[in-house]
Amino acid sequence: MQLPKYKKKKRIKLKICQEPGCGREFWGHPIAKYCPLHRDIKNRQKQKKDIENIDAKNIVFRHNYTDVMDLKFRCCLDGCDNLFEIKVFPKQFIYPRFCNEHRNDYKRANFIRLRRHKEQSEE
């Protein structure tokens, strides 16, 4: 018995280069994203990172202390009046703005969402 020989089907499509500003059409494999010029990473644009303002998540606390001290700060999140302790170091001026319970973005967003939900249910 003879078995049929498998012939691999060439799957080449007309694609559009995904590099911003290029838009050239090229023939390539279905998962190809870039034209032959932009396949080399040296020819692609560099992605710039979004620079976030320091004051968004931190306090700038200017001081003249010469030794390490423990100071209490109040959480800056609306509706949270927790006091939290921070070690203040000499010649260091940037410290966290929020208490440990609200230090990351998810916990802050969740706290605000729950607070709004409570306010709406009270009305």
Rounded to 5 degrees, what are φ and ψ at 82?
-65, 140
Residue 7 pLDDT level (bands cut at 50, 70, 90):
confident
- pLDDT digits 0-9 by tens, 14-26: 999 999 999 999 9
- pLDDT digits 0-9 by tens, 75-105: 999 889 899 999 999 999 999 999 999 999 9
> How many other C-beta atoms can be found within 10 angstroms of the C-beta atom of residue 88?
17
* Helices (H) then strands (E): counts for the chain: 1, 6
Examine the pLDDT at 113 and tell me if it is beyond 80: yes
Examine the pLDDT at 71 and tell me if it is beyond 90: yes
Helix, strand or coil, per DSSP, at residue 41: helix
Examine the pLDDT at 68 and tell me if it is beyond 90: yes
Q: How far from 33 is each of 2, 12, 46, 117, CA to CA, in Å?
A: 41, 13, 16, 44
CB 83 within 8 A of CB 74: yes
Residue 74 pLDDT level (bands cut at 50, 70, 90):
very high
Rounded to an integer, what is the distance from CA 77 to the centroid of its chain?
20
Residue 110 pLDDT level (bands cut at 50, 70, 90):
very high
pTM of the model: 0.56
- pLDDT digits 0-9 by tens, 25-55: 999 999 999 999 999 999 998 888 888 888 8
**Measured distance CA(19)–CA(36) in Å, rounded:** 11
